[in-house]
């Protein structure tokens, strides 16, 4: 018996990863039953391969018997579809960059509240978000800093021979300046102090091949410092494997009867 039916938006690396893990491998009572794509003919093979229904029309997806809509597309797709989707279904959003637009975030929050639906945001390529949210329950969080260290070529700094700090400032400005490289700053800001009070340092390094994210937090609870070194997905070196795992985990935990760390 399927207890959670999922509608999927997108056809990228994480979308197909979810289809493989959930529809082919998973023994959980969860299935992706439908999906929205831009070109049905191009992705028609997914219907037979994963036993799902494909449509190009978001309204057709929302008419189906699904419990959760999972977005695995782009920021522009979130901005286009989420205001409509949240009126009808709970959602899980991967492209959290859409929420760097504070006006959009405010509007979505209002729609979710008015329509009694939830938006789930997976932790992505970092961890420790439960601690940060707990520390801020009574406004006891004082500082949150993210230091992101990435291979130099990521920032077109392939000729450097030593680590180079290319940005220091707020998450708000970091997101604006490096929208494709600093998505972790968005989820970190949403969990804690917001984009204007979250500090970000970005380092281009000629010595590493994998992304590193160091999170430093202080508050009334004490202090935390943690570093995550991300390996890429084998299918796409531009996508963190941990980010894909965080999405899959967030979906599978929907059926857990024992909730941990919430």
The answer to whether residue 1 scores a pLDDT higher than 70 is no
Beta bridge partners of 236: 233
**213 labelled catalytic:** yes
Contact 170, 195 (CB under 8 A): yes
- 45, 88, 117, 213: the catalytic one is 213
Between 164 and 257, the higher pLDDT residue: 164
The answer to whether residue 95 scores a pLDDT higher than 60 is yes
CATH class of 4-121+243-255: alpha beta
The answer to whether residue 65 scores a pLDDT higher than 90 is yes
The answer to whether residue 26 scores a pLDDT higher than 70 is no
| pLDDT of 105 | 95
Residues 6+ apart with CB under 8 A from 7: 32, 33, 34, 35, 36, 61, 62, 64, 66, 68, 69, 70, 89
The answer to whether residue 2 scores a pLDDT higher than 80 is no
The answer to whether residue 262 scores a pLDDT higher than 80 is no
Q: Where are the domains of the chain?
A: 4-121+243-255, 129-230
Q: Does domain 129-230 have CATH number 2.60.40.420?
A: no
Average pLDDT, the chain: 94
Residue range 185-242, pLDDT digits in tens: 999 999 999 999 999 999 999 999 999 999 999 999 999 999 999 999 988 888 899 9
Contact 250, 262 (CB under 8 A): no
Give the distance from CA 57 to its chain's centroid: 23
- Confidence class for position 152, pLDDT limits 50, 70, 90: very high
Residue range 74-84, pLDDT digits in tens: 999 999 999 99
Long-range contacts of 192-197 (CB under 8 A, 24+ apart): 192/132, 192/133, 192/135, 192/136, 192/141, 192/144, 192/217, 193/136, 193/141, 193/143, 193/144, 195/100, 195/102, 195/170, 195/171, 196/170, 196/171, 196/172, 197/144, 197/170
The answer to whether residue 87 scores a pLDDT higher than 90 is yes
The answer to whether residue 67 scores a pLDDT higher than 60 is yes
The answer to whether residue 100 scores a pLDDT higher than 70 is yes
HSE (side-chain half, CA atoms, 13 Å) at 231: 4
- Confidence class for position 180, pLDDT limits 50, 70, 90: confident
Residue range 101-133, pLDDT digits in tens: 999 999 999 999 999 999 999 999 999 999 999
Provide, rounded to the nearest whole percent, the portion of the chain with pLDDT above 90: 85
The reply to whether 129-230 shares the fold of 4-121+243-255 is no
The answer to whether residue 42 scores a pLDDT higher than 70 is yes
Number of neighbours of residue 189 by Cβ within 10 angstroms = 26
């Amino acid at each position: 018996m399927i207890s959670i039916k999922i509608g999927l938006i997108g056809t990228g690396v994480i979308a197909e990863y979810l289809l493989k893990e959930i529809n082919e491998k998973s023994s959980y009572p969860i299935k992706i039953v439908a999906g929205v794509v831009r070109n049905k003919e191009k992705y028609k093979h997914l219907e037979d391969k994963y036993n799902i229904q494909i449509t190009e029309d978001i309204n057709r997806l929302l008419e189906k018997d699904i419990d959760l809509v999972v977005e695995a597309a782009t920021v522009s797709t979130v901005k286009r579809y989420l205001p409509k989707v949240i009126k009808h279904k709970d959602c899980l959003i991967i492209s959290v960059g859409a929420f760097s637009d504070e006006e959009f975030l405010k509007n979505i929050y209002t729609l979710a509240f008015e329509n009694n639906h939830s938006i789930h945001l997976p932790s992505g390529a970092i961890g420790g978000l439960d601690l940060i949210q707990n520390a801020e329950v009574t406004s006891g969080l004082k500082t949150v800093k993210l230091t992101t260290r990435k291979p130099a070529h990521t920032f077109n700094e392939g000729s450097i021979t030593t680590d180079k700090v290319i940005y220091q400032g707020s998450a708000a400005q970091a997101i604006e300046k490096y929208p494709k490289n600093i998505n972790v700053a968005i989820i970190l800001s949403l969990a804690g102090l917001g984009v204007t009070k979250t500090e970000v340092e970005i380092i281009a390094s000629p010595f590493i091949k994998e992304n590193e994210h160091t999170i430093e937090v202080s508050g009334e609870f004490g202090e935390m410092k943690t570093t995550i070194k991300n390996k890429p997905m084998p299918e796409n070196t531009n996508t963190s494997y941990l980010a894909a795992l965080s999405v899959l985990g967030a979906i599978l935990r929907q059926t857990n009867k024992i909730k941990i760390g919430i």
